Amino acid sequence: MTEQDRADGAQDAPAQSWGETTLDELVGDQDTMTRARQARAEFSRFMLHYRFAVDELLTKINILKAEFEHLHDYSPIEHVTSRVKTLESILDKARRRGIALQRSALREEMTDIAGVRVVCSFISDVYWFAEMLTGQDDIVVLEVKDYIAEPKDNGYRSLHVIVQVPVFLSESIEQMRVELQIRTAAMDFWAGLEHKIRYKYDGQIPEELVAELTQAAQTAAELDAKMEAVHDVTRRLNEQAGGRGADLSTLPLEVFTEFLDG
Ligand code: 0O2
Protein backbone atom coordinates (compact mmCIF):
# COMPACT_ATOMS: atom_id res chain seq x y z
CA MET A 1 0.00 0.00 0.00
CA THR A 2 1.38 3.42 -0.98
CA GLU A 3 1.29 6.55 1.13
CA GLN A 4 -1.37 7.90 -1.30
CA ASP A 5 -3.56 4.77 -0.80
CA ARG A 6 -3.26 5.18 2.93
CA ALA A 7 -4.27 8.82 2.70
CA ASP A 8 -7.25 7.95 0.46
CA GLY A 9 -8.32 5.12 2.75
CA ALA A 10 -8.05 7.33 5.79
CA GLN A 11 -10.42 9.83 4.20
CA ASP A 12 -13.09 7.18 3.50
CA ALA A 13 -12.66 5.11 6.64
CA PRO A 14 -15.41 5.27 9.28
CA ALA A 15 -14.47 6.51 12.76
CA GLN A 16 -12.48 3.75 14.52
CA SER A 17 -14.62 1.76 16.95
CA TRP A 18 -13.60 1.42 20.61
CA GLY A 19 -16.23 -0.88 22.04
CA GLU A 20 -19.51 1.04 22.03
CA THR A 21 -17.73 4.37 21.85
CA THR A 22 -15.91 5.83 18.86
CA LEU A 23 -12.28 6.75 19.39
CA ASP A 24 -13.16 10.35 18.55
CA GLU A 25 -15.72 10.44 21.35
CA LEU A 26 -13.31 8.82 23.73
CA VAL A 27 -10.49 11.20 22.95
CA GLY A 28 -12.98 14.05 23.16
CA ASP A 29 -14.00 12.92 26.63
CA GLN A 30 -11.22 14.43 28.69
CA ASP A 31 -12.50 12.95 31.95
CA THR A 32 -12.28 9.43 30.60
CA MET A 33 -8.82 10.04 29.21
CA THR A 34 -7.61 11.53 32.48
CA ARG A 35 -9.03 8.62 34.45
CA ALA A 36 -7.47 6.09 32.07
CA ARG A 37 -4.08 7.78 32.38
CA GLN A 38 -4.43 7.89 36.17
CA ALA A 39 -5.41 4.21 36.28
CA ARG A 40 -2.40 3.27 34.16
CA ALA A 41 -0.04 5.23 36.42
CA GLU A 42 -1.62 3.71 39.56
CA PHE A 43 -1.36 0.22 38.11
CA SER A 44 2.32 0.55 37.32
CA ARG A 45 2.88 1.86 40.87
CA PHE A 46 0.95 -1.15 42.21
CA MET A 47 3.19 -3.50 40.21
CA LEU A 48 6.33 -1.67 41.29
CA HIS A 49 5.48 -2.38 44.93
CA TYR A 50 5.38 -6.10 44.13
CA ARG A 51 8.78 -5.82 42.44
CA PHE A 52 10.10 -4.11 45.61
CA ALA A 53 8.64 -6.89 47.77
CA VAL A 54 10.44 -9.48 45.65
CA ASP A 55 13.67 -7.48 45.97
CA GLU A 56 13.26 -7.35 49.77
CA LEU A 57 12.85 -11.11 49.91
CA LEU A 58 15.75 -11.76 47.55
CA THR A 59 18.02 -9.69 49.78
CA LYS A 60 16.94 -11.69 52.83
CA ILE A 61 17.46 -14.96 50.96
CA ASN A 62 20.93 -13.95 49.75
CA ILE A 63 21.97 -13.00 53.28
CA LEU A 64 20.77 -16.33 54.72
CA LYS A 65 22.52 -18.20 51.91
CA ALA A 66 25.82 -16.35 52.30
CA GLU A 67 25.79 -16.71 56.08
CA PHE A 68 25.06 -20.43 55.87
CA GLU A 69 27.86 -20.92 53.35
CA HIS A 70 30.20 -19.04 55.66
CA LEU A 71 29.29 -21.12 58.71
CA HIS A 72 29.06 -24.52 57.05
CA ASP A 73 30.85 -25.94 54.10
CA TYR A 74 28.04 -26.26 51.61
CA SER A 75 25.22 -24.19 50.20
CA PRO A 76 21.67 -25.23 51.15
CA ILE A 77 20.25 -23.22 48.26
CA GLU A 78 20.84 -24.38 44.70
CA HIS A 79 19.18 -21.46 42.97
CA VAL A 80 16.50 -18.81 43.33
CA THR A 81 14.12 -17.44 40.72
CA SER A 82 11.47 -14.79 40.97
CA ARG A 83 8.79 -13.18 38.86
CA VAL A 84 6.03 -10.64 39.03
CA LYS A 85 2.96 -11.67 37.06
CA THR A 86 2.37 -9.89 33.78
CA LEU A 87 -0.72 -7.75 33.30
CA GLU A 88 -2.08 -10.36 30.88
CA SER A 89 -1.64 -13.13 33.42
CA ILE A 90 -3.29 -11.04 36.18
CA LEU A 91 -6.28 -10.27 33.97
CA ASP A 92 -6.56 -13.91 32.93
CA LYS A 93 -6.47 -15.24 36.50
CA ALA A 94 -8.87 -12.52 37.75
CA ARG A 95 -11.35 -13.55 35.04
CA ARG A 96 -11.01 -17.27 35.83
CA ARG A 97 -11.33 -16.79 39.59
CA GLY A 98 -13.93 -14.04 39.47
CA ILE A 99 -11.66 -11.56 41.26
CA ALA A 100 -12.65 -7.92 40.85
CA LEU A 101 -10.11 -5.79 39.03
CA GLN A 102 -9.75 -3.50 42.01
CA ARG A 103 -6.55 -2.80 43.86
CA SER A 104 -7.86 -4.06 47.21
CA ALA A 105 -9.41 -7.23 45.74
CA LEU A 106 -6.25 -8.08 43.80
CA ARG A 107 -4.07 -7.48 46.86
CA GLU A 108 -6.26 -9.68 49.07
CA GLU A 109 -7.27 -12.45 46.72
CA MET A 110 -4.46 -12.84 44.21
CA THR A 111 -1.65 -13.94 46.47
CA ASP A 112 0.78 -14.94 43.73
CA ILE A 113 1.20 -11.65 41.86
CA ALA A 114 4.76 -11.76 43.19
CA GLY A 115 6.47 -15.13 43.44
CA VAL A 116 9.85 -16.34 44.61
CA ARG A 117 11.00 -19.92 44.08
CA VAL A 118 13.86 -21.28 46.18
CA VAL A 119 15.41 -24.56 45.12
CA CYS A 120 17.29 -26.37 47.88
CA SER A 121 19.64 -29.33 47.84
CA PHE A 122 17.88 -31.47 50.45
CA ILE A 123 14.41 -31.76 51.96
CA SER A 124 15.79 -30.81 55.39
CA ASP A 125 17.13 -27.60 53.80
CA VAL A 126 13.66 -26.75 52.51
CA TYR A 127 12.26 -26.72 56.05
CA TRP A 128 15.38 -25.14 57.54
CA PHE A 129 15.20 -22.31 55.03
CA ALA A 130 11.43 -21.79 55.48
CA GLU A 131 11.92 -21.55 59.22
CA MET A 132 14.85 -19.13 59.00
CA LEU A 133 13.06 -16.79 56.62
CA THR A 134 9.61 -16.82 58.18
CA GLY A 135 11.10 -16.48 61.66
CA GLN A 136 12.27 -12.95 60.82
CA ASP A 137 10.39 -10.26 62.73
CA ASP A 138 9.12 -8.30 59.74
CA ILE A 139 7.76 -11.33 57.87
CA VAL A 140 4.18 -12.42 58.47
CA VAL A 141 3.11 -15.89 57.38
CA LEU A 142 -0.42 -15.81 55.96
CA GLU A 143 -0.72 -19.35 54.65
CA VAL A 144 1.29 -22.56 54.41
CA LYS A 145 0.58 -25.41 52.00
CA ASP A 146 2.91 -28.31 52.58
CA TYR A 147 2.73 -30.37 49.41
CA ILE A 148 5.84 -32.27 50.55
CA ALA A 149 4.09 -33.74 53.58
CA GLU A 150 0.92 -34.12 51.51
CA PRO A 151 1.74 -34.28 47.80
CA LYS A 152 -0.93 -33.45 45.24
CA ASP A 153 -2.61 -36.42 43.50
CA ASN A 154 -0.41 -35.95 40.43
CA GLY A 155 2.72 -36.17 42.61
CA TYR A 156 3.49 -32.43 42.82
CA ARG A 157 5.70 -31.70 45.83
CA SER A 158 6.73 -28.30 47.11
CA LEU A 159 6.37 -26.15 50.21
CA HIS A 160 4.22 -23.08 49.52
CA VAL A 161 4.20 -20.18 51.93
CA ILE A 162 2.33 -16.92 51.40
CA VAL A 163 4.21 -14.23 53.27
CA GLN A 164 3.60 -10.57 53.86
CA VAL A 165 6.67 -8.39 53.67
CA PRO A 166 6.92 -4.65 54.40
CA VAL A 167 8.15 -2.34 51.68
CA PHE A 168 9.42 0.99 52.98
CA LEU A 169 8.50 3.78 50.57
CA SER A 170 9.18 7.50 50.86
CA GLU A 171 5.76 8.26 52.35
CA SER A 172 4.31 4.94 53.46
CA ILE A 173 4.99 1.35 54.36
CA GLU A 174 3.23 -1.14 52.11
CA GLN A 175 2.58 -4.66 53.33
CA MET A 176 2.97 -6.82 50.25
CA ARG A 177 2.08 -10.47 49.71
CA VAL A 178 4.49 -12.84 48.02
CA GLU A 179 4.11 -16.53 47.23
CA LEU A 180 7.19 -18.50 48.18
CA GLN A 181 7.68 -21.93 46.64
CA ILE A 182 10.47 -23.88 48.30
CA ARG A 183 11.47 -27.29 46.99
CA THR A 184 14.35 -29.62 46.19
CA ALA A 185 16.10 -29.81 42.82
CA ALA A 186 14.37 -33.15 42.12
CA MET A 187 10.92 -31.66 42.88
CA ASP A 188 11.76 -28.65 40.74
CA PHE A 189 12.88 -30.79 37.81
CA TRP A 190 9.61 -32.71 37.95
CA ALA A 191 7.43 -29.59 38.34
CA GLY A 192 9.17 -27.87 35.41
CA LEU A 193 8.60 -30.84 33.13
CA GLU A 194 5.00 -31.34 34.23
CA HIS A 195 4.29 -27.64 33.69
CA LYS A 196 5.69 -27.81 30.12
CA ILE A 197 3.65 -30.92 29.32
CA ARG A 198 0.48 -29.41 30.79
CA TYR A 199 1.04 -26.28 28.72
CA LYS A 200 1.61 -28.34 25.58
CA TYR A 201 -1.68 -30.21 26.05
CA ASP A 202 -3.55 -27.09 27.13
CA GLY A 203 -4.14 -28.46 30.62
CA GLN A 204 -5.54 -31.81 29.41
CA ILE A 205 -2.63 -34.23 29.83
CA PRO A 206 -3.38 -37.65 28.21
CA GLU A 207 -4.12 -40.41 30.76
CA GLU A 208 -1.02 -42.49 30.03
CA LEU A 209 1.23 -39.45 30.46
CA VAL A 210 -0.47 -38.63 33.76
CA ALA A 211 0.41 -42.11 35.03
CA GLU A 212 4.02 -41.76 33.80
CA LEU A 213 4.34 -38.37 35.47
CA THR A 214 2.93 -39.60 38.76
CA GLN A 215 5.40 -42.46 38.69
CA ALA A 216 8.25 -40.04 37.88
CA ALA A 217 7.24 -37.91 40.87
CA GLN A 218 7.49 -41.01 43.06
CA THR A 219 10.98 -41.74 41.67
CA ALA A 220 12.02 -38.14 42.36
CA ALA A 221 10.74 -38.48 45.95
CA GLU A 222 12.73 -41.68 46.42
CA LEU A 223 15.85 -39.95 45.06
CA ASP A 224 15.30 -37.10 47.55
CA ALA A 225 15.00 -39.62 50.41
CA LYS A 226 18.24 -41.35 49.35
CA MET A 227 20.11 -38.05 48.97
CA GLU A 228 18.89 -37.00 52.41
CA ALA A 229 20.28 -40.23 53.87
CA VAL A 230 23.66 -39.63 52.20
CA HIS A 231 23.59 -36.05 53.45
CA ASP A 232 22.94 -37.25 57.02
CA VAL A 233 25.93 -39.57 56.89
CA THR A 234 28.29 -36.90 55.51
CA ARG A 235 27.05 -34.43 58.13
CA ARG A 236 27.71 -36.96 60.91
CA LEU A 237 31.16 -37.80 59.56
CA ASN A 238 31.96 -34.12 59.27
CA GLU A 239 30.90 -33.50 62.87
CA GLN A 240 33.05 -36.40 64.05
CA ALA A 241 36.01 -34.91 62.19
CA GLY A 242 35.44 -31.62 64.03
CA GLY A 243 33.94 -29.75 61.08
CA ARG A 244 35.87 -28.14 58.27
CA GLY A 245 35.72 -24.34 58.45
CA ALA A 246 37.79 -21.92 56.45
CA ASP A 247 41.49 -22.46 57.07
CA LEU A 248 42.44 -19.45 59.18
CA SER A 249 45.38 -21.19 60.83
CA THR A 250 47.90 -19.89 58.32
CA LEU A 251 47.12 -16.23 59.01
CA PRO A 252 49.52 -14.39 61.36
CA LEU A 253 48.14 -13.99 64.91
CA GLU A 254 48.54 -10.20 64.77
CA VAL A 255 45.63 -10.07 62.33
CA PHE A 256 43.28 -11.52 64.95
CA THR A 257 44.54 -9.47 67.90
CA GLU A 258 44.04 -6.32 65.83
CA PHE A 259 40.52 -7.54 64.97
CA LEU A 260 39.68 -8.09 68.66
CA ASP A 261 41.13 -4.76 69.74
CA GLY A 262 39.12 -2.80 67.19
P1 0O2 B 1 2.36 -20.28 37.58
O2 0O2 B 1 2.46 -20.01 36.13
O3 0O2 B 1 3.47 -21.17 38.10
O4 0O2 B 1 2.18 -19.06 38.42
P5 0O2 B 1 -3.70 -20.12 43.41
O6 0O2 B 1 -3.62 -20.52 41.94
O7 0O2 B 1 -2.32 -19.82 43.97
O8 0O2 B 1 -4.65 -19.03 43.69
P9 0O2 B 1 -3.87 -22.78 44.25
O10 0O2 B 1 -3.85 -23.43 42.90
O11 0O2 B 1 -4.66 -23.46 45.30
O12 0O2 B 1 -4.35 -21.32 44.17
O13 0O2 B 1 -2.43 -22.56 44.77
P14 0O2 B 1 -1.30 -23.61 44.92
O15 0O2 B 1 -1.82 -24.98 45.03
O16 0O2 B 1 -0.48 -23.08 46.06
O17 0O2 B 1 -0.52 -23.51 43.54
C18 0O2 B 1 -0.05 -22.33 43.03
C19 0O2 B 1 1.20 -22.53 42.17
O20 0O2 B 1 1.90 -23.73 42.55
C21 0O2 B 1 0.92 -22.73 40.69
O22 0O2 B 1 0.81 -21.47 40.11
C23 0O2 B 1 2.18 -23.47 40.24
O24 0O2 B 1 3.28 -22.59 40.12
C25 0O2 B 1 2.44 -24.39 41.41
N26 0O2 B 1 1.73 -25.66 41.26
C27 0O2 B 1 0.67 -26.09 41.97
N28 0O2 B 1 0.29 -27.30 41.57
C29 0O2 B 1 1.13 -27.66 40.57
C30 0O2 B 1 1.24 -28.85 39.76
O31 0O2 B 1 0.48 -29.80 39.88
N32 0O2 B 1 2.24 -28.85 38.85
C33 0O2 B 1 3.11 -27.81 38.69
N34 0O2 B 1 4.06 -27.92 37.77
N35 0O2 B 1 3.01 -26.69 39.44
C36 0O2 B 1 2.05 -26.61 40.37
P37 0O2 B 1 -0.01 -21.27 38.78
O38 0O2 B 1 -0.73 -19.98 38.92
O39 0O2 B 1 -0.85 -22.48 38.48
O40 0O2 B 1 1.04 -21.17 37.66
User: With a 6 A CB cut-off, is 188 part of the ligand 1 pocket?
Assistant: no
- Domain for residue 6, yes or no? no
- Domain for residue 148, yes or no? yes
Provide the CATH number for the domain around residue 167: 3.30.460.10
- Domain for residue 159, yes or no? yes
Of residues 69, 131, 179, 194, which has the active-site annotation?
Answer: 179
Please state, in angstroms and rounded to a whole number, the distance separating the CA atoms of residues 166 and 172: 10
Band (pLDDT 50/70/90 cuts) for residue 8 is very low
| Residue 129 pLDDT greater than 90, yes or no | yes
Mean pLDDT of 215-238: 92
Cβ partners under 8 Å of residue 49, min gap 6: 167, 169, 174, 176
pLDDT in tens, 167-184: 999 999 999 999 999 999
Range of the domain at 68: 27-187
Least reliable range by pLDDT among 113-117, 152-156, 232-236? 232-236
User: With a 6 A CB cut-off, is 194 part of the ligand 1 pocket?
Assistant: yes
- Domain for residue 94, yes or no? yes
CA of 67 to the centre of ligand 1 (A): 30
| Residue 161 pLDDT greater than 90, yes or no | yes
- Domain for residue 112, yes or no? yes
Give, using CA atoms, the residue closest to atom 17 of ligand 1. Answer: 160
Sign of CA dihedral 54, 180, 230, 245: positive
Least reliable range by pLDDT among 36-40, 183-187, 194-198, 251-255? 251-255
How many independent structural domains does the chain possess?
Answer: 1
pTM above 0.85, yes or no: no
Which pLDDT does position 169 carry in this prediction?
A: 96
Least reliable range by pLDDT among 106-120, 203-217, 218-232, 238-252? 238-252
Q: Counting atoms of ligand 1 from 1, which one is nearest the CA of 112? A: 7
pLDDT in tens, 80-99: 999 999 999 999 999 999 99
- Domain for residue 213, yes or no? no
Average pLDDT over all residues of the chain: 87
Please state, in angstroms and rounded to a whole number, the distance separating the CA atoms of residues 262 and 259: 5
Which pLDDT does position 148 carry in this prediction?
A: 98
- Domain for residue 69, yes or no? yes
- Domain for residue 170, yes or no? yes
